[in-house]
A and B are shown apart, each in its own frame.
Chain A
Amino acid sequence: MGKGKPFLEVLSSAIHEDYRFPFLELFAFLYALGTFVFASFGGIITATGTTNEAIAYSTTSSIIGASMFVFVILVFKNVAYGLGGDLEKGIIQTYFSYPLKRSGILTAKLLSAIGVALLLFLGIQISALYILAPDIVLPQLSTVFITYAATLSSALLIAGIMLLVTLGLRRGGITLVVGIILYAAMGIITSIAMVVSFATKSPLALQIISVISPSMALQQHYGGMSDIFSSVWAPTLSEVILYIGASYVIVASLFVLGYIYFSRRLNL
Chain B
Amino acid sequence: MSRRTTILGRGGTVLIAISLALILVSFLPSQQMGSGDGITDVSAGTFSPLNRFPPFFAPLNSYYDTVLTPQQGVELELTANGTITAYILEVNTQTIFNWISEQQQVPARDLNVTRLEEFLEAHPNAIGWQHEINKETIKHTYIPTKVTNVTIVYSNPSSENIGVNHSYSEKTFTAPSNKVRDIAFWTTPIGIILAIPWLLNNWKQRKHK
Interface of A toward B, CB cutoff 8 Å: 12, 19, 21-22, 24-26, 28-33, 36-37, 39-42, 44-45, 47-48, 55, 59, 120, 124, 131-136
Residue among A22, A44, A135 with max Cβ neighbours from chain B (10 Å):
A135
- List 24 contacting pairs A-B, 8 Å CB cutoff, sorted by A: A12-B3, A21-B13, A24-B14, A25-B13, A26-B17, A28-B14, A28-B17, A30-B21, A31-B18, A36-B174, A36-B175, A37-B28, A41-B71, A41-B72, A41-B147, A45-B147, A48-B149, A131-B180, A132-B70, A132-B176, A133-B145, A133-B146, A134-B145, A135-B146
Q: Is B179 an interface residue (CB 8 A)?
A: yes
- Smallest CB gap from A32: residue in B: B21
Q: Is B81 an interface residue (CB 8 A)?
A: no
Q: Is B153 an interface residue (CB 8 A)?
A: no
A235 to chain B, nearest CB (A): 24
Residue among B71, B147, B148 with max Cβ neighbours from chain A (10 Å):
B147
Contact check, A29 vs B149: say whether CB atoms are below 8 A apart: no
Contact check, A36 vs B21: say whether CB atoms are below 8 A apart: yes
A133 to chain B, nearest CB (A): 4
Contact check, A44 vs B176: say whether CB atoms are below 8 A apart: no
B residues less than 8 Å from A37 (CB atoms): 25, 28, 174
Contact check, B20 vs A29: say whether CB atoms are below 8 A apart: yes
**Size category, B interface:** 20 to 34
B62 to chain A, nearest CB (A): 20
Q: Is B183 an interface residue (CB 8 A)?
A: yes
CA–CA, A124 and B179, complex, Å: 15
A26 to chain B, nearest CB (A): 7
Q: Is B152 an interface residue (CB 8 A)?
A: no
Q: Inter-chain contact count A-B, CB under 8 Å?
A: 90
Smallest CB-CB A-B distances: 8 pairs: A32-B21, A135-B146, A41-B69, A25-B17, A29-B17, A135-B145, A133-B70, A36-B25
Contact with A along B49-76 (1 / 0, CB 8 A): 0000000000000000001011110000
Q: Is B22 an interface residue (CB 8 A)?
A: yes
A residues less than 8 Å from B148 (CB atoms): 48
Q: Is B16 an interface residue (CB 8 A)?
A: yes
Contact check, A131 vs B18: say whether CB atoms are below 8 A apart: no
Contact check, A47 vs B13: say whether CB atoms are below 8 A apart: no
Q: Is B193 an interface residue (CB 8 A)?
A: no
A257 to chain B, nearest CB (A): 33
Residue among A30, A39, A40, A131 with max Cβ neighbours from chain B (10 Å):
A131
B74 to chain A, nearest CB (A): 14
Contact check, B25 vs A48: say whether CB atoms are below 8 A apart: no
Contact check, A32 vs B17: say whether CB atoms are below 8 A apart: yes
B184 to chain A, nearest CB (A): 10
Contact check, A24 vs B146: say whether CB atoms are below 8 A apart: no
B residues less than 8 Å from A134 (CB atoms): 145
Contact check, B147 vs A55: say whether CB atoms are below 8 A apart: yes
A residues less than 8 Å from B138 (CB atoms): none
- Smallest CB gap from A19: residue in B: B10
B residues less than 8 Å from A22 (CB atoms): 13, 17
Query: Which residues of chain B (157-200) have a CB below 8 Å from chain A?
Result: 172, 174-176, 179-180, 183
CA–CA, A38 and B54, complex, Å: 39
Q: Is B127 an interface residue (CB 8 A)?
A: no
B71 to chain A, nearest CB (A): 5
Contact check, B22 vs A39: say whether CB atoms are below 8 A apart: no
B residues less than 8 Å from A44 (CB atoms): 69, 147
Residue among B28, B67, B69 with max Cβ neighbours from chain A (10 Å):
B69
State which of A28, A29, A39 has its C-beta within 8 Å of the C-beta of B71: A39
State which of A21, A42, A47, A59 has its C-beta within 8 Å of the C-beta of B10: A21
CA–CA, A39 and B71, complex, Å: 9
B residues less than 8 Å from A31 (CB atoms): 18, 21
- Smallest CB gap from A47: residue in B: B147
Contact check, B175 vs A131: say whether CB atoms are below 8 A apart: yes
- Smallest CB gap from A44: residue in B: B147
CA–CA, A12 and B176, complex, Å: 38
CA–CA, A114 and B29, complex, Å: 35
